[in-house]
Amino acid sequence: MINLPEAFDTFSEARKAGFIEIMKLKEEGRKVVGTYCTFTPWEIIMAAGAIPISLCGTSNEPIAAAEEVLPRNLCPLIKSSYGHAITDTCPYFYFSDMLVGETTCDGKKKMYEYLGEIKPMHIMQLPQSGSNGKSLALWRDEIISLKERVEKEFNVEITYEKLKKAIKDRNEQRKALKEFYELALFCPPPISGYEMFQVLNGANFKTSKEEQVDSVAALTKQIKELYDKGARRNLQDSPRILITGCPIGGVSEKIVKAVEDNGGVIVCFENCSGVKAIDTLVDEDKDPFEALAEKYISIACSCMSPNNNRIELLSELIDKYRVQGVIDVILQACHTYNIETYSVKRLVNEKKNLPYISIETDYSQNDTGQLKTRLAAFVEMLDA
């Protein structure tokens, strides 16, 4: 077992360190836009000279406060997001000048109405029939509407040149993160899935995007050099597992750690914080609004119907990463992802002939023991 590169610590602590950095940037007059979903085109915000930042929504602590307004049988991500807002326990929310959300699910869009009473809120109406011509045109118009709202809110002009540069810069971030997570293509992988998740999640909280690219690239290079020298963190025959489903920021400790503490290794995250949002670049040669619309409308979220993109992406990832088992993580009351477990199971069991398990959970610790037992048995089955 090799020692962790020190850089892992900077990514795991990036969210906390970013609080201070955001405060300094606000004092310098910079604008901050808080976002809740990977459908938000950060390029628009960057082109306005503002800072896009993902808002808190992965902690169980503020959920009790949120349940005084929101129903208990609601997705924990939604309740946590609202709870942080009303309890003022998310510095990123506090420093945000405006918020952007999308109508990915009924719970979110109704929660956004309440957030709009606290902060300026812009809601993008997401077409949910995939990337057909009509949906693409509607989404392009929504992106233009976001541009106009940001320009008005911050009294700036987003020119084509600024937008083109933002697209290029954001693509560079995606390339750096993609090169990093593709380290898991090695057999055995040079890092654990938990370490991979720390970097993928933490990178979003680095306010300097140049620093983000440089730090991820440097870490990737360091890991490759150690690997070439024979350093190994995983056994050659550790079962290679893919995680799909809902965002796992609030349950990574329960799921990922349980898998890897029992001898498995997560080689791919298909979720929003992983491959799904990063793998595809924005076409830098097209009209920027058309290119942004094409990129973001193609994200394989379960809110889309039909959602063939997700099945196709999963099929490619299973083959590419030589996956031996799939874990489908569903947050409580997330109906679209829960219903899609049937489609994912058919793909994994029938077409790929691989083991599959579906886990439904929330942000509490109540089911931790049960999950450890189930996931240990799943890994043991893969080992056998």
Q: Which residues pair with 33 in a beta bridge?
A: 52, 98
Asked if residue 2 is part of any domain, the answer here is: no
Angle at 180 between CA 3 and CA 284, to 5 degrees: 160
Q: Are residues 113 and 247 in the same domain?
A: no
Q: Where are the alpha helices (DSSP H) in 116-236?
A: 133-154, 160-181, 193-202, 209-228
User: How far apart, in whole angstroms, are the C-alpha atoms of residue 100 and residue 184?
Assistant: 33
Residue 211 or 276, more confident: 276
Mean pLDDT of 265-283: 95
Q: Are residues 98 and 210 in the same domain?
A: no
Asked if residue 46 is part of any domain, the answer here is: yes
Q: Are residues 169 and 153 in the same domain?
A: no
pLDDT of 236 > 60? The answer is yes
Using 50, 70 and 90 to split pLDDT, how confident is the model at 8? low
Choose the final residue of a domain: 108, 143, 159: 159
User: How far apart, in whole angstroms, are the C-alpha atoms of residue 11 and residue 38?
Assistant: 19
For residue range 55-78, list pLDDT tens digits in order: 989 999 999 999 999 999 999 999
Asked if residue 334 is part of any domain, the answer here is: yes
Using 50, 70 and 90 to split pLDDT, how confident is the model at 123? very high
Q: What is the CATH number of the domain that holds 89?
A: 3.40.50.11890
pLDDT of 235 > 90? The answer is no
User: How far apart, in whole angstroms, are the C-alpha atoms of residue 277 and residue 297?
Assistant: 11
Counts for the chain of helices (H) and strands (E), in that order: 17, 8
Q: What is the CATH number of the domain that holds 308?
A: 3.40.50.11900
Q: Are residues 278 and 379 in the same domain?
A: yes
Choose the final residue of a domain: 94, 126, 159: 159
The structure tokens 């892992």 sit at 8
Q: Are residues 176 and 89 in the same domain?
A: no
Tell me, what's the pLDDT at 12?
66
Kindly give the pairing relationship between strand 51-54 and strand 98-102: unpaired
Q: Are residues 122 and 226 in the same domain?
A: no
Choose the final residue of a domain: 142, 159, 176: 159
Q: Are residues 132 and 183 in the same domain?
A: no
Q: Are residues 180 and 236 in the same domain?
A: yes
**Cα 229 to the chain's mean position, in Å?**
32
| Owning domain of residue 125 | 7-159
Asked if residue 1 is part of any domain, the answer here is: no
Asked if residue 83 is part of any domain, the answer here is: yes
Q: Give which of 125, 43, 155 is closest to 297, Cα–Cα.
A: 125
User: How far apart, in whole angstroms, are the C-alpha atoms of residue 14 and residue 202?
Assistant: 5
Tell me, what's the pLDDT at 2?
40
Q: Are residues 136 and 184 in the same domain?
A: no
User: How far apart, in whole angstroms, are the C-alpha atoms of residue 106 and residue 257?
Assistant: 31
Mean pLDDT of 140-161: 98
Using 50, 70 and 90 to split pLDDT, how confident is the model at 206? confident
Residue type, position 310, single letter = R
Using 50, 70 and 90 to split pLDDT, how confident is the model at 18? confident
Into how many domains does the chain fold? 2
Q: Are residues 97 and 171 in the same domain?
A: no
Q: Are residues 146 and 169 in the same domain?
A: no
Q: Are residues 275 and 338 in the same domain?
A: yes
For residue range 26-56, list pLDDT tens digits in order: 999 999 999 999 999 999 999 999 999 999 8
Asked if residue 354 is part of any domain, the answer here is: yes
Asked if residue 351 is part of any domain, the answer here is: yes
For residue range 347-381, list pLDDT tens digits in order: 999 999 999 999 999 999 999 999 999 999 999 99
Asked if residue 239 is part of any domain, the answer here is: yes
